[in-house]
A and B are shown apart, each in its own frame.
Chain A
């Protein structure tokens, strides 16, 4: 593939996102002085049997692009024609992936609400699903923790603990538990499980002595070098590196896909996080994005607590989704909470059976209006619950001593308070089938308003065809194209929500 020294020379871009069920391809072309999405295509993902080669689905999706755009992208050997030449070829090809379950990680730290939480934030920000968080104070006995580590078959482990120069014993204890569990990687047993150590630098040698022979250990800078500051970037970069090196390389067909791609393949949620961060930075706004899928709901946010530096957070609500996990949404939200959004009566027994039937046949769609209203009611609750989880995770750092003045005495904000401030939020972006494909746009707006309760003035938008992942990875190659397409073709602006907040005056009888 062609490499460009100047990213402005990139005029034609093909980007794919290999999801669990569908591989989506987009074609971006530079025409009339701007980058625009011109064509999209999709095909079933082919990572599982009987195909077991992800590139087949990619080629099928790209073939659809060719058919619809009239641009010949692949040569007779099924390889990309690059660089673009007139009506043929593409300048770059990039891809994201969440096929085969995405990136599944376990994280460990010493104190659950401090280093373990920072490690969780690093893993989530890199686009991982965090299977479990092990900490010295997580109330499980050591043998229970070992058993749990052994049962989980993560793609990698992120281990942190202690500030630089602090005590080394606790983090080495956790390393000993991991060594005793002798964890195996999820994909294939031909390689050692990658473990990233991002804890107290003084303990690195001891951790190496403990784990070195059993796992593939990588040591990076401490992600919590001092209590008052997180340093998540080195750990996140190492996660991406290992994702490519180990996880992707084990998945069927990915070696070929990695060869084709002009930028490292990124986990889908990691790429979505990147585009949201890019947009928030570029426009200097606070943004909150949500992607509601069949099994999980991801929430991404960029807030600037106290008007200072932008802080990015991502959470995955693993069992809040609209098909595979719909029954769990119903169970967690409870019937009365769902039914408050439904303006007619429905029989409880029948409703419960309908929810379970959607769970066991996840690809069905609402045919009647009654079914649509009920499904959107459940979506509101899934979004609301995911938002609550996000708020409780996106906090100022815990365990930090705060200096208070007398003026703060009455405002009892504690260490660990949420940085999600709906009053200062500028933009709320929705994505995922139930929001992007609602028959009426106002239904999408209502779902987001009811679930998130925006305050003050908030712009509402949805991702038209869920192309945020492709645009996220595009920011690494051609940021201008990514933001232009995001603004012009990806986002559908639904309107502005104005929600005054304050104490209402008591009504006075005249």
Chain B
């Protein structure tokens, strides 16, 4: 049977989710294999080397660089405190003596008799990695971090902003089509992950931030609102570090687009459960999509479970979503996969598929312009 493979976004009731929680530099792992962890537990910790602040001591003391070692009070590797003298130049009389003080707390990294420069290294910066999801530690990578496994309902988004957070799921709109406006955001949503329909407005995002909503999951978002919220235009889709109160996960795309039924229904079925969400998106090699992970309350891991389902690709009958105009956002089922190239209205030649939309309308769409709705 003819088939094509266009990867889609995963929406599934139960899947084994594995999360690598790795430090940026080697450090200490604080948990062991078999430990149960919750999103806010710190699993690994390290210290980044402090910032380096150069100080040209030779210039400050009006010395040639090669004479620097003669005036240094502190040596390489010594601890220093801001304001404390690190070099002293003796004058003929006391009045003409001069000294040079450290500008930060830390250690003296190096003394250069070529440039006259002294490098001061600031205090180490502590870095902690949290578990992010509720689960069980299944692997410890020595001095680097851990792997956490959990069974969870899982929704992959298409675009998001904001970092990792977690909260109880609440459904704000009556269905998957209704726009999530500020009227739907209430004070009792503080600390929650709020699910909306086809769009979230800028006003709703603003109110959510003020109320203390942890995250919003919604079908679409307007580019203009995105620019207004961030204060700048996103040029390339690499996000996750935005300084915003509420993490946003968009499941369908930009504009007003109803959230896919199965996504909305899955989230609705999990109301009251804790969702771990992340808006980080990277659409480049090594793609990262935003996600909603809803760990099962029973977090024991079955042995041998979680085998990957076979990727079958798009075949006749596969549920798909069109991802480009003129049918953008519409859902349907594949009815034909003709092999020959087809001339599109744009006069480009491309491989196409035939689709029947939910309302019975039929259309021809380039295969590059659809994605499979993956449910396994």
Contacts and interface: CB of A to CB of B under 8 A. Distances in A.
Interface in A333-371: 349-350, 352-371
A324 B51 CA distance: 34
A115 interface: no
A366 B346 contact: yes
B236 A176 contact: no
B114 interface: yes
A27 B326 CA distance: 39
Interface residues of B, number: 50
- Majority secondary structure, B binding face: loop
B255 A176 contact: no
Question: Which of B323, B326, B348 has the most CB atoms of chain A within a 10 A radius of its CB?
Answer: B348
B255 A173 contact: no
Interface in A177-194: 177, 179-182
A437 interface: yes
A180 B236 contact: no
B236 A328 contact: yes
A349 B235 contact: no
A359 B285 contact: no
A372 B348 contact: yes
B52 interface: yes
A444 interface: no
A365 B345 contact: no
B325 A368 contact: yes
Nearest to B121: A180
A359 B368 contact: no
B79 interface: no
Interface in B239-256: 253-255
A295 interface: yes
Given A328-B235, A350-B255, A353-B255, A206 B283 contact: no
Contacts of B323: 357, 361, 364
Q: How many residues of A sit at the interface, in one of the four size bands?
A: 35 or more
Interface string B106-122: 00011010110101010
B284 A367 contact: no
A172 interface: yes
Contacts of B371: 361
Nearest to A375: B346
Given A354-B325, A355-B223, A365-B366, A360 B254 contact: yes
B46 to A, nearest CB: 14
A319 B236 contact: yes
B53 A48 contact: no
A361 B158 contact: yes
A20 interface: yes
Contacts of A180: 52, 54, 109-110, 119, 121
A437 B348 contact: yes
A406 interface: no
A371 B115 contact: no
Contact of B346 (A209, A363, A372): A372
Contacts of B233: 327, 331
B51 A361 contact: no
A358 B253 CA distance: 10
Interface in B141-193: 158-159
Nearest to B346: A372
A142 B346 contact: no
Interface string B251-283: 001110000000000000000000000000101
Interface in B34-62: 49, 51-54
B51 A143 contact: yes
A353 B254 contact: yes
Contact of B115 (A99, A143, A173, A355): A173
A220 to B, nearest CB: 21
A100 B324 CA distance: 28
A147 B121 CA distance: 12
Contact of A365 (B51, B52, B350): B350
Contacts of B51: 143, 146-147
10 tightest Cβ-Cβ pairs between the two chains A and B: A328-B235, A439-B347, A372-B346, A353-B254, A353-B255, A352-B223, A356-B254, A364-B324, A331-B233, A142-B54
Given A143-B53, A356-B254, 14 more contacts: A21-B285, A142-B54, A143-B51, A169-B115, A180-B54, A180-B119, A324-B284, A352-B254, A355-B223, A357-B254, A365-B346, A365-B368, A369-B345, A439-B348
29 contacts: A20-B285, A169-B114, A172-B112, A179-B110, A180-B54, A180-B109, A180-B121, A181-B52, A319-B236, A327-B233, A327-B234, A328-B235, A353-B253, A357-B255, A357-B324, A357-B328, A358-B324, A360-B283, A364-B368, A364-B369, A365-B324, A365-B344, A367-B326, A367-B345, A368-B345, A369-B346, A369-B347, A371-B325, A371-B346
